[in-house]
Amino acid sequence: MFQRLLRNGFGIYLRLSFFYGSYFLLAGLMLPYWPVWLQARGLSAEHIGIVLAIGYWIKIVVQPLIARRADSAGENRRIMSLLAVLVVAAMVGLTLGQGLWMIAILAVLLATLQQGILPLGESAVLAATRKHQLDYGRLRLWGSVTFIIAAVIGGAWLESFGAGNLVWLFIAAAALMAVGCTVMVADRRPPAAITWPEIGSLLARPSFLCLLAAAGLSQSSHAVMLAYGVIYWQELGIPEGIIGQLYGAGVIAEIILFALIGRFAGRISPAQLIALGACGGIIRWPLTALLADPIWLLPLQSLHALTFAATHLGAMAYLSKNIPTRLSASGQAVYAAIVGGVMIGAATFVSAAAYQRLGGDAYWIMGGFSFVGLLAAAGLAFTSARESRQAGSDDAGSAAPGRY
């Protein structure tokens, strides 16, 4: 009876939601507190920066390699479960490792393993939304919910038990993620011999290139906020508690959009969603440079629903509709590697130089990113329409897209 429950529509919804919740619980803990733990183990600020940078850039290589293996095998869940178990093992190894180099090596190994999970999970979720006509936004929102919960839990744990014991919280969250990967809905498809030229052919599609440019620029426009948002607001004299509320307001707005977007399924295209995200950035970032009063910054932060969530939803809708089923994991991985690795990584370097010279006025450059992203979204709309006319009524994935 329990197995039957897990296989019906509600059970599938629970399993997919649990995957997102468990994955982003760990991500929400590690984003703010991973550097804190590394510092407690004796790594200098320079060494921490190197470890984080390697973990950030390694996805460019790791994600396509793992995704190609999943597409060749025709199934994501087993590889996701293996990676998650290895993440737990690497976490446990961190408690035993002695010496800076050993900890640094294990930290990079951990990043390598963890980076491979999300593209496979996104691919499986999109396949399930197509098959069962589920609302992608209402699945993904649980990742945002647990991300907020993680920040609160991590802060309380740090205050109660100290930075050196954060690793035990990481291990518990990683174990929960392993459970989430194990109960994940299997995305089974015929095994196929996937070649690198076949994966590379995705980059020959004009619409895919426009997607990378449009979504990549919109997501990269967050670089100054992610790297220096807290520092800038502290320099303006905004209390830390208020800063926390500003970040929370953005995530809450993101959750609301994820919950409501299904009502507009079929009425708004991927290009239009990404264009909304770019328009949000054109408004959000220059005003962030100009405003210093939290009363105005609080509603301004609600534009995070557009700059992040609408852009992400548009990208997932495009990938669901346009990437061949046999390349579903590889398409996700190429997108994640280029947008989340190359473009956001480059934008982070740009933001560092810009903030050093311009301070808060660096947000104007992020507004420029959004403007160019809007132009790329127009290119996405044009190339998608042209490719659709050329292909007729056939979908690249040979399946009806789910609701986003």
The pLDDT assigned to 376 comes to 96
192-395: CATH topology is Growth Hormone; Chain: A; (1.20.1250)
- Predicted model pTM: 0.82
Mention every residue, 6+ apart, whose C-beta is less than 8 A from residue 190: 74, 326
pLDDT at 304: 94
What integer pLDDT is reported at residue 364 of this predicted model? 96
Taking the chain (404 residues) in runs of 10, the rounded mean pLDDT of each run is: 54 92 92 83 75 75 83 84 94 81 81 87 86 86 91 84 90 96 80 72 88 95 85 85 83 90 80 96 96 91 94 92 81 87 83 87 95 96 87 47 50
Task: State the Rg of the chain over Cα.
Answer: 21
Whole-number Å distance between alpha carbons of 143 and 367: 27
Q: How far is CA 196 from CA 66, 112, 201, 286, 312, in A?
A: 12, 20, 8, 41, 26
pLDDT computed for residue 399 by the predictor: 38
Burial of 164 (0-12, 13-18, 19+ CB in 10 A): exposed
Separation in Å, CA 236 to CA 9, 265, 365 = 49, 41, 20
The CATH H-level (homologous superfamily) assignment of domain 1-185 is: MFS general substrate transporter like domains (1.20.1250.20)
- What's the confidence (pLDDT) of residue 395? 44
**Domain 1-185 shares a fold with domain 192-395:** yes
CA 351 to chain CA centroid, Å, is 19
The structural domains of the chain, with segments of one domain joined by +, span 1-185, 192-395
The token duo for 135 is 């609302």
3-state SS, residue 402? coil
